[in-house]
Amino acid sequence: MSNRFDPAMLEAACAGNKESLLSLLAAAQPDIRRYARTSCRAADIDDAVQETLWLLYRRIGVLRALTSLSGWLWVVVRRECSRLAKKMFHHDTPIADFSDDLRFSYQSQDDLRLDLTRAIQSLPEHYRTVILLRDIEEMSIHEISSALRLTRESVKARIHRARTMLREYLNDEDR
């Protein structure tokens, strides 16, 4: 991301220069969208991008260096995606009010759990292990790499591949 704008632009934006701030927002938007595509449901991507841009606009003064911008945006996008996902699934509305909602009309909770269990069981052992440790046990990448004696990169690659395989399995089930 740092090749799209220079440190002087960030400094000017932090100082309140409106043109620099707008340029910074425009330059950051593709990266924010890319981060959102990897962290959010498809329906939440635009909302996450908008909220992240708004937060960047409001909090630009707290950034100390251009090098911290990318990491800060990544954290903000992930948090926003989590917030949107929780908002979708944790309603105060009684479940009966969702009877016409297509998200819930095709399968029961038990069927969804069974499909997910079958998908996880279909994974090769080394992928199943990292997915269970990461998504069920909620272990960090560092904890998993230590427990399995793998590099962090290997753990990340296995998690990514396992999630891709799960997605493919579950999409094939829908056909």
Look at 148-152, 155-159, 160-164, 167-171 and tell me which has the smallest mean pLDDT: 167-171
The token pair that represents 151 in the structure block = 């590099």
For the residues 130-154, what does the mean pLDDT come to? 91
- pLDDT tens digits for 29-78? 998 898 888 888 788 888 889 998 888 888 887 776 666 777 888 888 88
pLDDT of 24 higher than 90:
no
For the residues 149-168, what does the mean pLDDT come to? 92
CA angle 55, 1, 73 (to 5 degrees): 25
Residue of 125, 142, 135 lying closest to 163 (CA atoms): 135
Q: Please state, rounded to an integer, the average pLDDT across all residues of the chain.
A: 79
- Single-letter amino acid code for the residue at 99: S
Site of tokens 């329906």: 43
Domains and CATH numbers, the chain: 2-89 (1.10.1740.10), 101-174 (1.10.10.10)
Residue 134, CA atoms < 13 Å, CB-side half-sphere: 21
End-to-end Cα distance, the chain: 39
Tally of residues, the chain: 175
pLDDT of 2 higher than 50:
no
Residues 6+ apart with CB under 8 A from 29: 49, 53
Alpha helices, H only, 5-101: 7-14, 18-39, 45-59, 66-89
Which pTM was predicted? 0.48
